[in-house]
Amino acid sequence: MGKKKPRRIAGRYDVLRSLGEGTTGTTFLVTDTSNGATVVLKVPREDLSQEVDLVRFQRAYAAMSQIDHPGIVRILEVGPSYLTVAYVPGDSIASLAGEPVHHVLDGAIELAEILAAMHQHGLIHRRIHPGNVRLDADGRLVL
């Protein structure tokens, strides 16, 4: 039997796997068939597809794309009904559980600095949880 063809979203993103559902949408790990890159794609929830909510979704991520900070994931594309961000392989901050307290405090300070950078641009992250905060290959936090 042949290999099952992956689900394609927005004409060029092949779904590798679901990363989960959040308050604003579903997130997938995908391959961008235009360049072969592995990226994260977020699709808004169906009930956000009303024009006002969809515009708010697009504006928030378009604003985030203007922030240049190593702790804020790079927004790649804000499409009409999806967005893509850079994939940050690594563990979530949940992996810090059980670490010496100074490591955890360093992470808390780093997260506070990331949030401060967002706030300086008028943005508020409304859903901070371990799944949204990753440790990159160098051990730095990325939101």
Per-residue model confidence as pLDDT tens digits over 108-127: 899 999 999 999 988 878 77
pLDDT the model gives residue 131: 79
Q: Does residue 78 come out as left (phi exceeding 0), alpha (psi in the -120 to 50 range) or beta? A: beta
The token pair at 91 is: 């563990």
Name the band, by pLDDT with cuts 50, 70 and 90, for residue 52. low
H/E run at residue 63: helix 51-64
Rg (CA), the chain: 16
User: What whole-number distance in Å separates Cα of residue 17 and Cα of residue 48?
Assistant: 22
The token pair at 123 is: 């943005």
H/E run at residue 96: none
Overall residue count recorded for the chain in this entry: 143
Model confidence, pTM: 0.82
pLDDT the model gives residue 4: 75
Name the band, by pLDDT with cuts 50, 70 and 90, for residue 47. low
